[in-house]
Amino acid sequence: MNRLFIVCLVALIAGCSEKKQQATPSAQTDSVEVFVLKKELVTKSLSLPAELHPWERAELYAKVEGYVRELKVDIGTSVRTNDILLIIDAPEVTANYAKASADLQAAQSRYHTSLDTYRRLTNAAREKGAVSDSELERTRNQMLSDSSSLEAAKSGANAYAQLRNYLIIRAAFDGVITQRNVDPGTLVGKGSTPLLVLENLSKLRVRVAIPENYTSAIPQSTSITFAVDAQPSKKYSAALARKSNQIDTKTRTELWEFEVSNTNQELKSGMYGNASFNLQRIEPSFVVPYSAVVTNMERSFVIRVRDGKAEWVDVRNGITMKEKAEIFGDLQEGDLVVLKANDELKERQVVVAKN
């Protein structure tokens, strides 16, 4: 009886063990498609908004308060350097200049008189006892005082002469009047609105905001082509002249400036358009298909297969192209990178790489 019980117990334990073994699945090894990482020369064709600015621009304000007596220009008027644009009438400035001129003449007369007196006494003092030392010293001091008064009168007259010159506003350079905000008889002074705006349109500045990712790349050509909204079918060429060397903290862009000749005045300042040009990296970089980069809320990474195991490698994105993206990270040429990566392929997971 006992022997029969033992046999049944052994059979029951063996059956349970067999079921447990059947219920435990065998470890599965994933097979992933990989490619060999290598560096390539990165190029990018860009089409970015462009804005046209005048080569020179001057906002003309009134230095002294007065009334516009004569306005010689209007919007669209072409002017040359030193042309008179506007004349201001300020009677008090004219009166002050006349008074300062009169004071200057009086000071000159006093100085010449005292200087002549001092010279005569100096000659007379050569005869011993003819002129006392105190009289000679007094005459000398009077001459020096009149000399100082003359210099002060000259400075005052020059100051009022400069103020009188401010009544005539001239062109600082060759250009076109693009704004006129006053009429004859208008009271003007130190305001916030310019009387006139003068722009030099013979050459224009084409300004393009380059995204931060592309600022370290170099143009494949020193010139770009651009089109403006007013003439979308016509292409213009502009040469790269300068860069701002500063990243705008608000837009994360760097301002590049190009120059275009505009002798025929076909282009206008303030126009918007699109600039097209090609950029390339100075040195080759790692380039991968978009499917190889995994981006989630925490990180951006690629999956490298090393020693038969998956390894997540953090990367930073660079220039994006049509089918591939430039990446930077702790990677080496020849690494095996998963072609179609996702975060379900865990770190250190055993995988089989297929080229």
| Residue where the block lists tokens 């660079």 | 318
Q: Across all residues in the chain, what is the average pLDDT?
A: 86
**Fold entry, domain 30-42+284-354:** 2.40.420
Give the mean pLDDT of 170-176. 95
Give the mean pLDDT of 109-125. 85
Tokens of residue 39, six digits: 């560096």
Among 173, 119, 172, CA closest to 142:
119
Domain extents in the chain: 30-42+284-354, 46-55+199-280, 91-166
Rounded CA-CA distance 282/287 in Å is 15
Residue-level length of the chain: 355
Nearby residues of 127 by Cβ (< 8 Å), 6 or more positions away: none
Give the mean pLDDT of 125-137. 76
Rounded CA-CA distance 288/15 in Å is 54
Rounded CA-CA distance 66/188 in Å is 6
Report the pLDDT value the prediction gives residue 170, as an integer from 0 to 100: 94
Rounded CA-CA distance 133/136 in Å is 5
The DSSP secondary-structure symbol of 291 reads: G
Distances from the Cα of 246 to the Cα of 96, 212, 242, 254, angstroms: 49, 10, 12, 6
Give the mean pLDDT of 249-266. 93
pLDDT in tens, 284-319: 999 999 999 999 888 899 999 998 899 999 999 888
Rounded CA-CA distance 3/95 in Å is 140
pLDDT-derived band of residue 77, with 50, 70 and 90 as boundaries?
very high
- Would you tell me how many other CB atoms lie within 10 Å of the CB of residue 77? 17
From the options 2.40.30, 1.10.287, 3.90.660, 1.10.150, give the CATH code of 91-166: 1.10.287
pLDDT in tens, 10-67: 455 555 554 444 444 434 567 889 999 999 888 888 899 999 999 999 999 998 889 9
Nearby residues of 21 by Cβ (< 8 Å), 6 or more positions away: none
Rounded CA-CA distance 330/325 in Å is 16
Look at 28-37, 45-54, 231-240, 245-254 and tell me which has the smallest mean pLDDT.
28-37
Rounded CA-CA distance 238/262 in Å is 11
Tokens of residue 165, six digits: 């010159």
Residue 257 CB-density burial (10 A; 0-12 exposed, 13-18 middle, 19+ buried):
middle
Instruction: Please name the CATH architecture into which domain 46-55+199-280 falls.
Output: Beta Barrel (2.40)
Among 4, 37, 46, CA closest to 293:
37
Contact, 207 vs 96, CB < 8 A? no
Look at 37-41, 117-121, 275-279 and tell me which has the smallest mean pLDDT.
117-121
Strand partners, 57: 199
